């Protein structure tokens, strides 16, 4: 029996943060709009923008001051991550009407396997058009959807026509549609890799696809071979609707700050907020405790720094935040401000049971176990009554962090 061609959709919500703000306040529609740190103080950086703001040349991560010079009348709104998370969940629920095989790649992007769904709902393009219409009618958002026979081409298709569009790349026409594109358009081809390719005469996706496998392997190793596979349309990676414990190698979260910060107390508060998010994901993933904390920092010049440290295996927010903050204090230049912070955990141990002085002195429950129970109780309260029901004192000291739910960005590998 001949195997059926896969039907993969890849969705990308257009200008998601800005679009949610407009959906909440329709009077903003049609006006240049940016989501930024503090609209009243008129400083910080641009976190997101709509199509009208793009026409003025406004870019994500530039300063609000710069954006105002380009468009003095631009509308400015603060960021509301809990709303973005809520809208994202509603969009995924719409996808769930058509398939239960959904891979949430980020807060605004998903891959979906519609192979079996075509028996009920029509072709991949027809399903994509239905989803696009549903999202617009019910939530006031637009989405670009790519349709193809693998994930790599479906994602590439989703980027080819924006906003509010469906683009299909089939096995019959992918060479015509894709092979003439710059090699930088291919998933996972970064700037450095592209420069190396171009020095060797590989300028388009087609050049890579038609290159000699042994020659590519010799120069770029396993990564080069995989990129060549992607270029040739031979990617067979499945849509992963859920990750098995053993598949989860790291869990993390990062956030671009609403404005640059410099004081260590501000950095400490943000690390605690991030650690709350990462610890919650660690519990949800059920992969035990982590023994490695990795931090990433970006300065106002957009330069990235990253370091990691080993710690006694833990799943507790306090331990994670403390390790992250101490690592930051040891490594980050004291004269530089901070624009982005991130924490990633790895080195999971499913079976660890720490023996500490606390456990010897207290008998039945160790100090770790008591703190673990306390965090579990807090998690249950938040699940029932909302994330901002219970906040740490160190976070509440900053009114901009009080009640903030920064769990929106998903980073799990």
Q: What pLDDT digit, counting tens, does each position of 273-327 carry?
A: 898 888 888 887 778 889 999 999 999 988 889 999 999 999 888 999 999 999 9
Looking at 118, 141, 164, which one is the last position of a domain?
141
Q: Are residues 254 and 403 in the same domain?
A: yes
Is there a domain that residue 163 lies in? no
Is there a domain that residue 205 lies in? no
Is there a domain that residue 167 lies in? no
> pTM above the 0.75 mark?
no
pLDDT tens for 227-262 read 999 999 999 999 988 655 566 788 888 888 878 999
Is there a domain that residue 3 lies in? no
pLDDT of residue 62: 87
Is there a domain that residue 351 lies in? yes
| 196 has a pLDDT exceeding 60 | yes
Q: Are residues 253 and 132 in the same domain?
A: no
Pair 35, 61: CB distance under 8 Å = no
Is there a domain that residue 215 lies in? no
Looking at 87, 109, 141, which one is the last position of a domain?
141
Q: Which of 194, 228, 200 is nearest to 214 (CA)?
A: 228
pLDDT tens for 77-91 read 988 888 998 999 999
Pair 182, 160: CB distance under 8 Å = no
Rounded Cα distance between 377 and 89, Å, is 24
Q: Give the three-class secondary structure for 86.
A: helix
Rounded Cα distance between 155 and 16, Å, is 17
Q: Are residues 259 and 408 in the same domain?
A: yes
CATH number for the domain including 131?
3.40.1170.60
Q: Tell me how many domains the chain contains.
A: 2
Q: Which of 80, 100, 63 is nearest to 19 (CA)?
A: 80
CATH number for the domain including 356?
3.30.1490.100
Instruction: State which residues form the domain around 397.
Output: 245-412
Q: Are residues 250 and 383 in the same domain?
A: yes
Backbone angles phi, psi at 11, to 5 degrees: -105, 145
- Active-site choice (21, 52, 103, 109): 109
109 is catalytic: yes
Q: Are residues 269 and 130 in the same domain?
A: no
Rounded Cα distance between 288 and 353, Å, is 10
């Amino acid at each position: 029996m001949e195997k059926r061609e896969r039907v993969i959709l890849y969705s990308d919500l257009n200008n998601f943060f800005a679009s949610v703000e407009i959906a909440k306040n329709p009077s903003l529609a049609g006006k240049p709009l940016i989501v930024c740190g503090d609209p009243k103080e008129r400083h910080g950086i641009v976190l997101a923008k709509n199509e009208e703001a793009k026409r003025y040349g406004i870019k994500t991560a530039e300063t609000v001051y710069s954006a105002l010079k380009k468009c003095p009348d631009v509308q400015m709104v603060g960021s509301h991550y809990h709303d973005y998370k809520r809208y994202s969940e509603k969009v995924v629920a719409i996808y769930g009407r058509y398939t239960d095989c959904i891979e949430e790649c980020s807060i605004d992007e998903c891959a979906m396997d519609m192979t079996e769904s075509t028996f009920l709902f029509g072709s991949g393009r027809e399903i994509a058009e239905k989803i696009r219409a549903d999202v617009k009618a019910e939530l006031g958002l637009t989405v670009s959807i790519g349709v193809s026979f693998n994930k790599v081409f479906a994602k590439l298709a989703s980027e080819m026509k924006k906003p509010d569009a469906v683009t299909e790349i089939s096995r019959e026409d992918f060479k015509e549609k894709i092979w003439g594109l710059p090699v930088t358009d291919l998933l996972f081809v970064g700037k450095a890799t592209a420069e190396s390719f171009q020095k060797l005469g590989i300028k388009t996706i087609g050049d890579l696809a038609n290159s000699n496998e042994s020659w590519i392997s010799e120069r770029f190793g396993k990564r080069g071979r995989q990129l060549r596979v992607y270029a040739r349309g031979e990617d067979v990676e499945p849509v992963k609707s859920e990750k098995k414990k053993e598949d989860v190698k790291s869990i993390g979260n990062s956030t671009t700050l609403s404005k640059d910060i410099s004081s260590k107390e501000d950095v400490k508060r943000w690390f605690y907020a991030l650690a709350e998010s990462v610890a919650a994901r660690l519990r949800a993933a059920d992969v035990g405790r982590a023994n490695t904390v990795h931090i990433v920092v970006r300065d106002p010049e957009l330069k990235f720094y990253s370091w990691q440290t080993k710690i006694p295996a833990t799943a507790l927010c306090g331990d994670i935040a403390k390790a992250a903050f101490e690592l930051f204090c040891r490594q980050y230049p004291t004269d530089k401000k901070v624009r982005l912070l991130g924490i990633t955990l790895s080195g999971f141990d499913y079976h660890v049971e720490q023996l500490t002085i606390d456990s010897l002195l207290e008998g039945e429950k160790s100090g770790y176990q008591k703190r673990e129970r306390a965090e579990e109780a807090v998690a249950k309260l938040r699940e029932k009554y909302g994330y901002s029901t219970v906040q740490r004192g160190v976070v509440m000291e900053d009114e901009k962090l009080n009640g903030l739910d920064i769990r929106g960005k998903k980073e799990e590998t």
